[in-house]
């Protein structure tokens, strides 16, 4: 059989009492009772009233609504009736606006909608225990009564406080709240945000003992609160603030290196931060690597574009003179010529085709260079070793200086600086070179840059 604890208010102490069907006699409460009213104020024997009290309790017909009592009172006893649900916000419309205490215990109540107590501005005490069955579910309704002075929910087997029940600073609106009684439930942890700094300073009595606390980093704030405010934690019935994970230790004696906790939460944030940074960095790197040739082309266009000069055609026979080593002739034949002559419609001077036989090679070079608008030098290790190439380079250099021509460097292979001649290094220092690479993207970039370098971007499309 269930022992129903009585819900009695202490003199002048307003509260919500959600109490208490526990087996333990220690959960019983004692207090004062209302005065016994005399006048009939609703029905025959249904409600009895005096100047301060309206008593509609324990009706054999079990009232399901609060009747209009047509008089002002401060205490309403509506216990032991049949109000199983309070979902309509107009439920308390017949209750005097002066009411300070409402006793609703043992009605079989299962829910109270938020906002039903709106307008009862003097309500300080709600008694909700007995056969009613709600735990934290009642909290939103109760927390919206700013005049309530205490919250009492003891011996209800209440589990961990759900996050939504007490949002951050949940009690902040309750300016008169001075007492919170939640002892002998199944609460495992109490969040620091449940009780804001402000409400902690205004509470006079807190009873949270007899709960199976999980002692870890999260309990340290609570331990500190208890230590710094021993007076408000004077638990008159129960002392036990014990660690559930270690029965021999009380929260008071629980020791944990605070550094471990700081590190714990800090390290997690730090790890996540670093991980995010690394991932972003990696993605950027991959993207950059993937589009490195596009980036180069773009950079080249930007730098080159700024220096672009309007060139006056000299009416030359050739558009471009190509200087290359014999070993690179295949590349010139198969890669360069098809694009420059085939696609871009330029006329090239290449020695294996355009040098006149029978003429001295120096004359051939001199004629070809002076008859070309621009010069492409195909740098490679072979170029460095070829004497004729070196000659062409020096010749072109002086020629270009005189005429302000365009000289374009193409690097076929990675050429180490120790392989290069002084003239090559000098040119490299003053001219950007365009690398050839067999990769698809790299080729596109190459042709794009070469096109910009040869200075007529409108004519062809680089896809």
Ligand X SMILES: *[C@@H]1O[C@H](CO)[C@@H](O)[C@H](O)[C@H]1NC(C)=O
User: Given the rule CB under 6 A, which residues bind ligand X?
Assistant: 33-34, 50-51, 57-58, 62, 64-68, 70-71, 77, 79-80, 82, 90-91, 93-94, 97-98, 103, 121-122
Min. distance of Cβ 109 from ligand X in angstroms? 12
Which CB atom, from 55 or from 354, has the smaller least distance to ligand X?
55
Min. distance of Cβ 91 from ligand X in angstroms? 6
Which CB atom, from 98 or from 371, has the smaller least distance to ligand X?
98
Please, which residues have CB within 8 angstroms of residue 422's CB and are 6 or more apart in sequence?
none
Which CB atom, from 121 or from 168, has the smaller least distance to ligand X?
121
> Which pair of tokens denotes residue 162?
């759900």
> Which pair of tokens denotes residue 234?
């004077």
Q: With CA atoms as reference, report the closest residue to 67 among 103, 89, 50, 43.
A: 43
Min. distance of Cβ 135 from ligand X in angstroms? 22
Min. distance of Cβ 51 from ligand X in angstroms? 4
Q: With CA atoms as reference, report the closest residue to 78 among 108, 53, 58.
A: 58
CB 81 within 8 A of CB 107: yes
The position carrying tokens 């009706």 is 59
Please, which residues have CB within 8 angstroms of residue 366's CB and are 6 or more apart in sequence?
395
Half-sphere exposure of 165 (CA within 13 A, CB side): 15
Min. distance of Cβ 140 from ligand X in angstroms? 21
CB 28 within 8 A of CB 47: no
Q: CA 299 to CA 291: how far, in whole Å?
A: 12
Residues paired with residue 180 on neighbouring β-strands, in sequence order: 151, 206
Which CB atom, from 51 or from 163, has the smaller least distance to ligand X?
51
Min. distance of Cβ 20 from ligand X in angstroms? 14
> Which pair of tokens denotes residue 271?
């790890």
* C-alpha gyration radius of the chain: 46
Which CB atom, from 108 or from 160, has the smaller least distance to ligand X?
108
Sign of the Cα pseudo-torsion (59, 63, 68, 74, in order): positive
Which CB atom, from 66 or from 377, has the smaller least distance to ligand X?
66
Which CB atom, from 179 or from 351, has the smaller least distance to ligand X?
179
Min. distance of Cβ 167 from ligand X in angstroms? 27
Min. distance of Cβ 156 from ligand X in angstroms? 19
Which CB atom, from 114 or from 437, has the smaller least distance to ligand X?
114
Which CB atom, from 23 or from 35, has the smaller least distance to ligand X?
35
Q: How many CB atoms lie within 10 A of CB 137?
A: 14
- What burial class does residue 28 get, using C-beta atoms within 10 Å of its C-beta: 0-12 exposed, 13-18 middle, 19+ buried? middle
Q: CA 436 to CA 457: how far, in whole Å?
A: 20
Min. distance of Cβ 107 from ligand X in angstroms? 9
Which CB atom, from 74 or from 294, has the smaller least distance to ligand X?
74
Min. distance of Cβ 102 from ligand X in angstroms? 9
CA distances from 259 to 246, 270, 271 (A): 21, 15, 17
CB 181 within 8 A of CB 210: no
């Amino acid at each position: 059989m269930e022992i129903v604890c009585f819900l009695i208010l202490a003199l002048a102490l307003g509260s919500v009492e959600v109490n208490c069907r526990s087996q333990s006699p220690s959960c019983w409460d004692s207090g004062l009772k209302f005065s016994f009213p005399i006048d009939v104020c609703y029905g025959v024997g249904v409600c009895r009233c005096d100047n301060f009290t309206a008593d509609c309790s324990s009706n054999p017909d079990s009232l399901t609504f609060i009747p209009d009592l047509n008089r002002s009172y401060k205490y309403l006893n509506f216990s032991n009736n049949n109000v199983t649900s309070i979902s309509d916000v107009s439920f308390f419309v017949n209750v005097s606006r002066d009411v300070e205490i409402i006793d609703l215990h043992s009605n079989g109540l299962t829910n109270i909608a938020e906002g039903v107590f709106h307008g009862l501005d003097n309500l300080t005490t709600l008694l909700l225990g007995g056969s009613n069955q709600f735990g934290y579910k009642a909290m939103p309704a109760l927390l919206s009564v700013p005049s309530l002075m205490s919250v009492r929910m003891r011996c209800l087997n209440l589990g961990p406080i759900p996050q939504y029940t007490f949002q951050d600073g949940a009690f902040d609106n309750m300016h008169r709240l001075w007492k919170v009684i939640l002892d002998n439930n199944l609460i495992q942890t109490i969040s620091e945000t449940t009780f804001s700094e402000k409400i902690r300073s205004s509470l006079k009595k807190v009873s949270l003992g007899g709960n199976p606390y999980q002692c870890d980093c999260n309990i340290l704030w609570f331990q500190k609160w208890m230590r710094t405010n021993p007076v408000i934690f004077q638990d008159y019935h129960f002392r036990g603030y014990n660690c559930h994970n270690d029965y021999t230790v009380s929260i008071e004696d629980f020791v944990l290196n605070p550094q471990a906790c700081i590190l714990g939460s800090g390290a997690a944030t730090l790890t996540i931060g670093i991980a995010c940074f690394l991932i972003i960095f990696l993605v950027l790197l991959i993207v950059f690597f993937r589009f490195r040739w596009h980036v180069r082309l773009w950079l080249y266009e930007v730098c080159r574009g700024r220096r672009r000069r309007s060139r006056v055609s000299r009416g030359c026979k050739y558009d471009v003179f190509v200087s290359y080593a014999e070993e690179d002739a295949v590349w010139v034949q198969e890669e360069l010529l098809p694009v420059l002559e085939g696609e871009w419609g330029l006329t090239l001077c290449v020695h294996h085709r355009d040098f006149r036989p029978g003429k001295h090679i120096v004359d051939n070079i001199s004629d070809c260079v002076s008859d070309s608008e621009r010069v492409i030098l195909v740098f490679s290790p072979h170029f460095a070793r070829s004497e004729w190439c070196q000659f062409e380079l020096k010749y072109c250099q002086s020629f270009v200086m005189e005429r302000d021509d365009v000289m374009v460097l193409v690097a076929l292979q990675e050429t180490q600086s120790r392989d290069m001649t002084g003239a090559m290094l000098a040119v490299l220092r003053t001219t950007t070179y365009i690398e050839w690479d067999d990769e698809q993207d790299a080729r596109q970039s190459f042709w794009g840059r070469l096109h910009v370098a040869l200075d007529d971007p409108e004519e062809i499309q680089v896809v």
